[in-house]
Amino acid sequence: MHKILVEGIKIYAYHGCLAEEGKIGTNYIVDVTMETDFTEAAKTDDLSKTIDYVIVYNVVKAEMAIRSKLIEQVGQRIVDELKKQFATLKKVEVKVTKLNPPMNGDVERVSIVIAS
């Protein structure tokens, strides 16, 4: 089994329970780790035999553009869509990090991780 990581996807989005978050937005970082078998791609240098990073990025970008109150929901949508896009995907892990969350305290980031 092999792993493909697409890390540090920087997205500006509008998730959160507060009305202001839907208007102002904030920065997010999304990391995706996928397990697959890319033996054939490694032998043949054929992109169709592996997971296309551009599609992964586009899935993350599209799902992050849909407003949710919870980043938990956004993360699950990303996982679900990646599973639909890639039949060869054995496992996927998505980490969604919200930078500078609006809390009564000095908190740099909050994250959720969904593994499926």
pLDDT in tens, 30-50: 999 999 999 999 999 999 999
Structure tokens given for 53: 């990073």
Q: For residue 77, give the nearest of 89, 88, 87, 65 by alpha carbon.
A: 65
- Which domains does the chain carry? 2-115 (3.30.1130.10)
10 flagged as catalytic:
no
Percent of the chain with pLDDT over 70: 100
Over the chain, what is the mean pLDDT?
Answer: 95
Look at residue 19 and tell me whether its pLDDT is greater than 90.
no
pLDDT band at 20 (very low <50, low <70, confident <90, very high): confident
Is the Cβ–Cβ distance between 8 and 33 less than 8 Å?
no
Q: For residue 51, give the nearest of 13, 96, 4 by alpha carbon.
A: 4
Q: Which of 49, 61, 84, 98 is catalytic?
A: 98
